[in-house]
Amino acid sequence: MVRHLKQSRCTPIAACLSRLGFSLSLVWAASADAAQVDVAEELARLASANGFQVTGDEHLQDAVGRAEGEALYPRVRLLLERFDHIILQKPDGGIERIIVLGQAMPGNAPPKTIIEVDKPDDESDAPGDSDSAQIELPTERNGNQHSVRISLEGAKGERFERALLIDTGADTLVLPASLIATLGIAEEGLQERRVQTANGEVQARMGSLPGLWLGDQRIPRVEVAFLDDDKLGGNGLLGMNVLGRYRMTIDDEHDKLTLIQR
pLDDT digit string (tens) for 28-61?
344 456 789 999 999 999 999 999 988 878 889 8
Contacts of 115 (CB under 8 A, 6+ apart): 86, 87, 88, 89, 168, 248, 249, 250
pLDDT at 196: 60
Contacts of 126 (CB under 8 A, 6+ apart): none
Signed CA dihedral, 241, 177, 15, 105: sign only: negative
Which band of pLDDT confidence, cut at 50, 70 and 90, is reported for residue 200?
Answer: low
Which residue ranges form the domains of the chain, and what is each CATH number?
35-110 (no CATH), 130-261 (2.40.70.10)
Query: With 60 as the cut, is the pLDDT of residue 4 above it?
Result: no
- Say whether pTM exceeds 0.85: no
Q: Is 65:44 a contact under the CB 8 Å cutoff?
A: no
Mean pLDDT of 176-204: 84
Which band of pLDDT confidence, cut at 50, 70 and 90, is reported for residue 119?
Answer: very low
pLDDT digit string (tens) for 206-253?
999 999 999 999 999 999 999 998 888 778 999 888 988 888 888 888
